[in-house]
Structure 1
Amino acid sequence: MEPGQWNQLLFNLLSGGLGALLLFLLQSRQAYLRVKQVTANLVSVLKTDLRTNLAFLEAGRDPELPSMTAVWRDLTALAVELLPSELTFELAVAYQAVSLSMDHESGLSASATAAGAVKSALGKLEDYEKSLQLPLLLAGGLLHASKSRKSP
């Protein structure tokens, strides 16, 4: 091969490799954002459930615990995989406190303790949710910008 052909071959290999690398990075970024979106949805579901339990506790009624359903077990498993361990622990404490509050022999102190645990878990979930929003907002803006550049 002549020197010019070697340069062209090298250029083709590098540009193809860089293209493949860029495609991989783009796909990785999209997967990362999908995981972030799923995590944000999970946090939303958990917050709704905790707020419902808190309303029952504050009204002096037994909370509704969905933790016995197969779907809730799946959500719990997903939470363990996606959420930080400190947050997962906080959620476990809150749900255990809610469960114990349903033991009527425990009295009002168990309900007050459960309400405190639920409020703490809700606060931690809301803080974590805020940390998820920035990457999703940035990604949404970048996606919108890239789409607007493509269309005339």
Structure 2
Amino acid sequence: MRRQLQTIVMIAGSLWLAACSEDYGTDQHGRMVSAAQLQDRWLVINYWAEWCGPCRKEVPELNALAASRTDLAVVGVNYDGLQGEELLKAVEQLGIRYSVLALDPAERLKLPRSDALPSTYLIDPQGRVRDQLLGEQTAAGLQARLTQLQQEE
């Protein structure tokens, strides 16, 4: 009986861990974005659309932030839900150099839906949403806010 209980506990634990490490789907290039790539790091998740002028203007800022910090991951999400070739074309036209998820992680990360664009979420390494920033962001502004949030921990 005890052995059966141990087996059940081990299986349940394995299933729970598997659910926690579920991948995020593919990026704009069709490459898998694994949970391991994003776990234990600060996440900057930016919602954008092709038709959004401020979204277009902030892309170079997000590219700079992504290139300057290895302790965080900048991730884009297309507000209009573009997929496949359409998503890749839009990403290339805007010059986005960070990963753009094909699937919206809002439910997984418990992100409130924003009707304003651009919308950027700052998520700590424990998976807690620490801030939602509306409107065009700069690399310097995001750096400053991230530093402030990190000091509050």
The TM-score normalised by the length of structure 2 is 0.33
Determine which structure has the larger strand proportion and give its number. Answer: 2
Q: Which of the two has greater helix per residue?
A: 1
| Structure (1 or 2) with the larger CA radius of gyration | 1
